[in-house]
């Protein structure tokens, strides 16, 4: 197979950041993707309807009408102050729901810019019930970084599952996206809850602990795990209608990545992440599963039309640059066998 053509892909999870770096990052995605979900954790985070309107205006100005296929989606950051009224405020401004980030009890961030987030057991506080009830009423989406910061890195996702289970028993109609799923236990949990969706990153399908350990480029939350986890995540991405592409593209300046306790997050532009997954699916003999994973399931779950046009990938080795849009991407300096034809 020399070329693969798929319906234009979507990306369910992207950090476009803010200020000077935003335009370059946004256009990297807008060139290739249809739907792209903007994560609400720039500094300061997006918390209110007014924040959503301002963010939408920035996107509209950068992308203008040059990429008519691009359909950004926005969500707000759930903080301890978020209420049922906030649900109406942000959804009336055009958001499709919320994202929640874990902090520990002292509100130290469990991941980048998570210090406004919530200590996981707080979700079960009866005071939160009106928030979830209103979100269900409005058919809003609750996107969850499902990690419990009280545990060591490799156990954090697993440790969050009982909280999610209780929450789903109380609010069975809640529309949940389990973000950047990374463990065999997480996969089993999502499969047991057919109302849920999950995003899957290229790195959790391609790398294991041994690739990640000590490599600042591969530091991310949730951490890259074992080969058993990697296989479970890949097979889920390949086979399940509940799995869709979400790059979790999360660029950090090189200096921040290189610190002893390096910043968590990997820059995964579509020109790198998509060919890397194409190579994996092709190698595993399932290229026909690329289109459902990239271009169908997320739109279908959202209940919006699939993208109408297509992109073509060619089998043509190329070296990933050391820098793209000002940041060091995943697989910088390495050769990928597939590239997106432009």
Catalytic residue among 11, 51, 89, 248: 248
In the stretch 243-272, what mask flags binding to Zn ion with x, by CB under 5 A? -----x------------------------
Contact 48, 86 (CB under 8 A): yes
Q: Which residues contact 67 (CB under 8 A, 6 or more apart)?
A: 30, 31
| Residue 248 known to be catalytic | yes
Q: Which residues contact 227 (CB under 8 A, 6 or more apart)?
A: 208
DSSP string, 133-146: HHHHHTT-EEEE--
| CB of 248 or CB of 296, closer to Zn ion | 248
Q: Which stretch binds Zn ion (CB under 5 A): 29-37, 89-97, 181-189, 242-250?
A: 242-250
Residue nearest to Zn ion (CB): 248
| CB of 8 or CB of 252, closer to Zn ion | 252
Q: Which stretch binds Zn ion (CB under 5 A): 129-137, 241-249, 273-281, 301-309?
A: 241-249
The count of residues interacting with Zn ion (CB under 5 A) is 1
* Span 88-107, contacts to Zn ion by CB under 5 A: none
Helix ranges (H only) for the chain are 22-30, 49-63, 84-92, 129-137, 156-170, 184-191, 202-206, 209-212, 227-239, 254-258, 270-283, 290-291, 297-302
Query: Whole-number minimum distance, CB 170 to Zn ion, in Å?
Result: 26
Total residue length of the chain: 342
Query: Whole-number minimum distance, CB 1 to Zn ion, in Å?
Result: 32
HSE-CB for 329 with a 13 A CA cutoff:
26
| CB of 89 or CB of 248, closer to Zn ion | 248
Active site positions, annotated: 248
Judged by the rule CB under 5 A, the positions of this chain that interact with Zn ion are 248
């Amino acid at each position: 197979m020399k070329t693969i053509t798929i319906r234009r892909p979507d990306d369910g999870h992207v950090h476009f950041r803010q200020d000077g770096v935003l335009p370059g990052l946004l256009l990297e995605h807008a060139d290739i993707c249809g739907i792209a979900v903007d994560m609400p954790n720039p500094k300061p985070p997006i918390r209110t309807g007014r924040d959503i309107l301002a963010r939408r205006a920035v996107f509209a100005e950068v992308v203008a009408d040059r990429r008519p296929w691009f359909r950004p989606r926005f969500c707000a950051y759930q903080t301890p102050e978020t209420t049922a009224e906030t649900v109406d405020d942000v959804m009336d401004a055009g958001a499709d729901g919320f994202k929640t980030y874990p902090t520990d009890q002292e509100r130290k961030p469990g991941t980048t810019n998570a210090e406004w987030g919530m200590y996981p057991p707080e979700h079960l506080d009866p005071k939160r019930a009106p928030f979830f009830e209103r979100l269900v009423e409005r058919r809003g989406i609750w996107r969850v970084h499902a990690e419990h910061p009280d545990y060591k890195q490799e156990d954090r996702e697993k440790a969050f599952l009982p909280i999610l289970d209780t929450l789903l028993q109380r609010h069975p109609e809640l529309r949940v996206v389990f973000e950047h799923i990374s463990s065999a236990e997480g996969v089993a949990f999502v499969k047991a809850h057919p109302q849920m969706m999950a995003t899957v990153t290229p790195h959790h399908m391609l790398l294991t602990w041994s690739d990640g350990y000590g490599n600042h480029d591969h530091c991310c939350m949730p951490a890259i795990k074992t080969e058993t986890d990697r296989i479970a995540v890949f097979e889920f991405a390949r086979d399940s209608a509940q799995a869709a592409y979400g790059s979790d593209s999360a660029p950090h300046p090189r200096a921040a990545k290189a610190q002893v306790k390096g910043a968590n997050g990997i820059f995964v532009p579509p020109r790198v992440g998509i060919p890397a997954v194409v190579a994996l699916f092709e190698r595993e003999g399932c290229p026909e599963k690329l289109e459902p994973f990239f271009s169908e399931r997320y739109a279908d779950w959202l209940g919006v039309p699939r993208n109408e046009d297509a992109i073509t990938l060619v089998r043509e080795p190329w070296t990933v640059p050391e820098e793209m849009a000002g940041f060091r991407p995943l697989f910088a300096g390495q050769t990928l066998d597939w590239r997106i034809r432009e």
